Amino acid sequence: MADWIGIGRRARRCYGFDEVALVPGTVTVNPSEVDTTFILGKHRFPVPIMAASMDGVVDVNFAIAMGKLGGIAVLNLDGIQTRYEHPEEILKQIASATPEEATKLVQSLYENNKFPVKEKLIAKRIQQIKEAKVPAIVSCIPQNAEVFSKIAVKAGVDAFIVQSTVATVRHIATEYKILDIEKFCKITKVPVIIGNVVTYDMALEIMEAGASGVLVGIGPGAACTSRGVLGIGVPQITATVDCCAARDYFFKRRGKYIPMITDGGMRIGGEICKAFAAGSDAVMVGSAFAKAEEAPGRGYHWGMATSHANLPRGTRIRVGTSGTLKEILMGPARVDDGSQNLVGALKTSMGSLGARNIKEMHDVEIILAPSIQTEGKVFQIGQRVGMGK
């Protein structure tokens, strides 16, 4: 499992999306007849794709549009939507800033002392989503979870996500109160998803603590800089496989199936398909949806930790606007690079692989294929079209 990297030190090889490929089996299925349902608690979602809880991606209107298409959009309770009654001007400022100004501006706009989260806005945003008769799912950092969850549950939220750069059950701190994850999962009256993790042991501990779902991924997002700033992370194929092995062991031992959600690193349909083949039950995507006309970021996307006052671990990037949310999620695709009709790509891949549902997708063959992105693509690469972009 591991190779020597020096005297007395070994390291194992881990793999990301670009290094593997999926192998068709001996049966194929009509793509329109495959089942992509994702189950979370009592809810069934026909689209197993979540829009990430990032301020450039999800606001109330986006959450409603995503919900009506059968997917999930997660609203960030620590962000602009709950700090400002009318966030449009703030979003315009972020989109208008130069690259040199962007991080400093975001830090100032999210400053807790000057612009704290307003509890009344938490309730208001959730109620606005629920009024449209779609599920409302929200997230926040552990420090705010106890207070925010009570407001959210009272407002009618359907699931609550507690999200941090690295999630652990056994966090050590003396300067502030620590969230007791086991107690939190037990007393919260809606499904609780915990993230983010990348290892078998941590996924198992979080499931043992009572989580209803686990987010997998540290630092792979397009706007995240955690891997560069902190030097930590595990490529998403290996992280997903390891955490899903913990899920399967937990299910065998406890009889309770806890979904794994691969979070980040997926730009296009093929990468989403590989995440499911690695064992994921759903995926969380940011940059692909930041390109939607309905996204509040106006063609810009920034990491959740960009606003950190002392050590930003995210950046603002320009992704542009490529189409409507419906085109990105359901098609028809207007571009040839796999960034649109994500559900169609998943269904077609499943059909080609002979997987009738997501659980059968977990069993397809995965091979190491470092040439999968470049083999035979010399003209696309040279002309920067298709897979050569």
Which residues carry out catalysis? 224, 318
Q: Which residues contact 265 (CB under 8 A, 6 or more apart)?
A: 16, 17, 217, 220, 221, 236, 271
And the tokens for 80? 């602009």
Distance CA 351, CA 28 (A): 5
Cβ neighbourhood burial of 224 (10 Å; 0-12, 13-18, 19+): buried
Contact (CB, 8 A) for 325 and 340: no
And the tokens for 240? 């997903």
Of 24, 11, 1, whose CA–CA distance to 367 is shortest? 24
And the tokens for 341? 């009709």
Q: Determine how many CB atoms are found less than 10 A away from the CB of residue 222.
A: 19
DSSP 8-state secondary structure symbol assigned to residue 286: S
Tell me the β-bridge partners of 138. Answer: 75, 160
